[in-house]
């Protein structure tokens, strides 16, 4: 009897103090990789998220923000488990993050079935951009094919006639390769899809490259694989002999290590990307300067997108005045993409993937002699991904 | 598909096989002689890599890195055996799997605490960098030749130790009949510690040799441990000779599969199907081989002779 009364009083009190509830922090779940060899990417994202929250004074829509990080352990099953924990146990208001396409594909349903909004800060698998697009799913990075479609264009412009492709055999690897194949007009003289993530020695593939002797090699190996790939490319005597073009292989996480190890073969190589640390807009200059001051290195593109994702969410929470349960209002605001991006202006396509520029980047030394990447050219302007047309939304 | 390409890919396959052998030799000894399932064997591969990278970066010498790294890994192996594993010999295999799986998690976290999150890289020593012409117009990387030669030297050394020394005799006696060897006055406890340490050092050596190519990272052991397990199953558990032959076969099948399977499939399949099936099939090849061996010769290719 007594207990029932107390519960009753407590619930009345809760109702009476509803405005006080608004002072409850907004909870954002952020899934990334915080253990295994890929943890260094997750740390970079985590740092960027924390910096973004700091830059916005810890508040969105007048309410405090609490970010709960989930570690996917670079494993789709674990990623799904962590997503379930965030949605069901921590009861987060919104879920963001996801480096890996296969982890996102395994986890998306959990978030979307709960009616919550899901924002990918890196992975952009074709399925979620096309046939399986969802009103509550947003991507704030890119669709996997786009960066390499830009790469195909670059190869055409640079007169490459024969191309050899080496990439990992998983969702993102296949998308990246299909992107190049969409736009590259020359002949693909060899293609190796390697076992992901276990294969980390490319002796057999490089031997084939040498025997075919193509005009260029294109590759995609994110994380520590990228560093190992570049290293072995140089060791195999291919640097300087066959020009290397890459996507998501050389980043600000790997470059300091390559510089330390003296892998000069990476200098002067080209890649395509939607962002670079040297982009000149106020948001980016503040982000890069403060990131370097606080963490000692250039932010990676993973970090730039994680940083953007927080301001993207903030624009929606601000628009609904902190009432985050107003999912329709949030969605309408996200579709406008009215936030200061480190990439300058971008807009949201109808499949909830960004419509944005893709640039040619080159690995060079900065004023202090630190290896970094600099933008050379716009390859694709206001580009819409090729799967958007399959999205019925 | 010309002859030079085939020859070079064969060398690549042998080089992978040599690394697998170094790993499998210790695993098969521990499994065969001590009847102990050690999933944490890959951890010594990783620890060897990290210790070597640290010593290398500290002394600036590749050779000193190996010379310091080997006894350090040996010692770590023996300490692990004495502290954690000794009490598990009488337990069943499932308990051993559980305990050594726990060790994998422990060691993976440990290296993340001690060393940087993204691992440790070492430069390729200048005198091992570059490639030499080995005939047929093949320029083969010096470092990979060094891996093959040092692996062969270790295999020969191991053969000599096992067949021609007192320690080897004790090891063989332990493998044939543990109880009888103990009854004849062999200090089985000490013998097991030595065997375990030796196995750890061999795995560590494999880790050291691969580090200038791929860098030392947390979790690198599990990726190759699976292959090493396949090798000892194919070779026959407890047999060093079997481990050697099976490792070379596995290395060759994996490498040649990756190199030529897509070309071969093009003969029988349309291009699109061949392109999709090639990578999938080539990564399955050695498991298919293992399934075949298990079906036709469940004891492995070269099972040790048991007297019990």
Higher pLDDT, B248 or A251: B248
**Residues for chain A: how many in total?**
393
Q: Is the pLDDT of residue A237 over 70?
A: yes
Mutate which of A34, A37, A167, A199 to test chain B, going by most B C-beta atoms within 10 A?
A37
pLDDT for residue B240: 87
The pTM (predicted TM-score) of the whole model is 0.83
Q: How confident is the model at residue A15 (pLDDT cuts 50, 70, 90)?
A: very low
Q: How confident is the model at residue A128 (pLDDT cuts 50, 70, 90)?
A: very high
Please tell me if residue A191 touches chain B, with a CB cutoff of 8 Å: yes
pLDDT for residue A4: 55
DSSP state, A61? T
Query: Which residue is closest to B261 within chain A, CA to CA?
Result: A192
Where in the sequence is the domain holding B72, given as residue range(s)? Answer: 8-125+138-296
* Share above pLDDT 90 across residues of chain B, in percent, rounded to a whole number: 53
Nearest-CA distance from B276 to chain A in Å?
A: 9
In a domain, B304, yes or no: no
> How many residue contacts between A and B have a Cβ separation below 8 Å?
103
pLDDT for residue A22: 52
Cβ density class A137-159: b for 16+ within 10 Å, e for less = bbbbbbbbbbbbbbbbbbbeeee
In a domain, B272, yes or no: yes
Helix (H) / strand (E) element for A28: namely strand A26-32
Q: How confident is the model at residue B278 (pLDDT cuts 50, 70, 90)?
A: confident
Residue pointed to by tokens 């117009």? B137
In a domain, B308, yes or no: no
In a domain, B303, yes or no: no
Q: What is the mean pLDDT of residues B108-125?
A: 88
In a domain, B57, yes or no: yes
ipTM of model? 0.83
In a domain, B307, yes or no: no
Nearest-CA distance from B128 to chain A in Å?
A: 10
pLDDT tens sequence across B281-306: 888 889 999 999 999 999 999 887 76
- Which domains can be identified in chain A, with CATH numbers? 2-142+280-352 (3.40.50.2300), 145-273+358-390 (3.40.50.2300)
In a domain, B189, yes or no: yes
Token output for A161: 């006639």
pLDDT tens sequence across A176-210: 999 999 999 999 999 999 988 888 899 999 999 99
Name the percent of chain A in helix, strand, coil, to the closest 5: 45, 20, 35
Which of B139, B215, B218 is facing A36, going by the closest CB pair? B218
Domain count along chain B: 1
In a domain, B302, yes or no: no
Q: Is the pLDDT of residue A16 over 70?
A: no
pLDDT tens sequence across B33-88: 788 889 999 999 999 999 999 999 999 999 999 999 999 999 999 999 999 998 89
Which of A199, A207, A231 is facing B5, going by the closest CB pair? A207
pLDDT tens sequence across A52-100: 999 999 999 999 999 999 999 999 999 999 999 999 999 999 999 999 9
Say which CATH number the domain at B269 has.
1.10.3470
Spatial separation of the C-alpha atoms in residues A391 and B249, rounded to whole Å = 49
Beta carbons of A62 and A19 less than 8 angstroms apart: no
Spatial separation of the C-alpha atoms in residues A38 and B303, rounded to whole Å = 40
Beta carbons of A99 and A302 less than 8 angstroms apart: yes
């Amino acid at each position: 009897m007594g207990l029932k009364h107390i519960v009753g009083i407590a619930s009345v009190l809760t109702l009476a103090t509803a405005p006080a509830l608004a002072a409850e922090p907004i909870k954002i779940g952020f899934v990334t990789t915080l253990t295994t060899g890929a943890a260094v990417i997750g740390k970079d994202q985590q740092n960027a998220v924390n910096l973004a929250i700091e830059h916005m004074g810890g508040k969105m829509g007048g309410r405090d923000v609490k970010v709960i990080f989930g570690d996917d352990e670079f494993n789709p099953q674990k990623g799904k488990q962590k997503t379930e924990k965030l949605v069901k146990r921590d009861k987060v208001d919104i879920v963001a993050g996801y480096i890996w396409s296969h982890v996102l594909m395994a986890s998306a349903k959990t978030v979307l079935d709960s009616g919550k909004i899901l924002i990918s800060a890196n992975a952009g698998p074709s399925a979620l951009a096309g046939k399986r697009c969802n009103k509550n799913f947003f991507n704030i990075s890119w669709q996997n094919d786009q960066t390499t479609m830009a790469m195909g264009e670059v190869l055409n412009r640079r007169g490459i006639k024969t191309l050899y492709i080496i990439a990992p055999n998983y969702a993102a690897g296949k998308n990246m390769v299909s992107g190049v194949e969409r736009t590259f007009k020359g002949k693909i003289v060899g293609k190796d899809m390697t076992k992901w993530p276990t294969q980390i020695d490319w002796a057999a593939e490089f031997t084939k490259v040498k025997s075919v002797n193509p005009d260029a090699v294109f590759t995609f190996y994110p994380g520590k694989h990228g560093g190992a790939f570049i290293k072995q490319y140089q060791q195999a005597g291919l640097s300087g002999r066959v020009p290397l073009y890459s996507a998501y292989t050389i980043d600000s996480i790997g470059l300091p290590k390559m510089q330390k190890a003296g892998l000069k073969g990476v200098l002067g190589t080209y890649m395509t990307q939607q962002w670079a640390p040297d982009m000149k807009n106020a948001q980016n200059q503040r982000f890069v300067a403060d990131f370097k001051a606080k963490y000692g290195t250039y932010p990676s593109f993973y970090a730039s997108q994680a940083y953007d994702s927080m301001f993207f969410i903030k624009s929606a929470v601000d628009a609904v005045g902190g009432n985050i349960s107003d999912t329709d209002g949030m969605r309408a605001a996200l579709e406008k993409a009215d936030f200061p991006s480190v990439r300058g202006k971008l807009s949201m396509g109808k499949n909830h993937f960004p419509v944005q520029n893709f640039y040619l980047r080159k690995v060079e030394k900065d004023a202090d002699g630190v290896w970094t990447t600099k933008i050379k050219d716009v390859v694709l302007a206001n580009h819409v991904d090729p799967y958007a047309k399959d999205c019925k939304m | 598909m010309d002859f030079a390409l085939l020859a070079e890919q064969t060398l690549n396959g042998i080089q992978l096989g040599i690394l697998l052998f170094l790993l499998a030799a210790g695993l098969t000894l521990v499994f065969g002689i001590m009847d102990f399932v050690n999933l944490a064997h890959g951890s010594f591969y990783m620890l060897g890599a990290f210790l070597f990278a640290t010593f290398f970066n500290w002394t600036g010498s590749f050779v000193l890195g190996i010379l310091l790294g080997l006894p350090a890994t040996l010692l770590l192996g023996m300490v692990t055996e004495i502290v954690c594993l000794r009490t598990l010999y009488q337990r069943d295999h499932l308990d051993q799997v559980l305990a050594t799986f726990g060790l994998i998690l422990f060691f993976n976290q440990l290296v993340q605490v001690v060393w940087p999150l993204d691992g440790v890289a070492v430069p390729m020593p200048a005198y091992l960098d570059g490639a030499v012409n080995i005939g047929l117009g093949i320029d083969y990387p010096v470092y990979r030749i060094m891996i093959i030669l040092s692996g062969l030297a270790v295999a020969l050394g191991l053969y000599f130790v096992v067949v021609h020394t007192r320690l080897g005799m004790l090891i063989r006696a332990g493998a044939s009949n543990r109880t009888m060897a103990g009854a004849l006055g062999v200090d089985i406890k000490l013998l097991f510690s030595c065997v375990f340490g030796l196995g750890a050092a061999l795995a560590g050596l494999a880790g050291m040799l691969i580090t200038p190519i791929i860098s030392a990272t947390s979790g690198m052991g599990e990726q190759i441990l699976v292959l090493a397990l396949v090798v000892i199953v194919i070779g026959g558990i407890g047999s060093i000779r079997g481990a050697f032959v099976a490792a070379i076969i596995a290395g060759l099948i994996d490498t040649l599969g990756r190199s030529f399977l897509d070309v071969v499939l093009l003969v029988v399949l349309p291009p699109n199907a061949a392109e999709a099936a090639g990578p999938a099939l080539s990564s399955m090849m050695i498991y298919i081989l293992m399934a075949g061996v298990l079906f036709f010769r469940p004891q492995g290719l070269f099972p040790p002779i048991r007297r019990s």
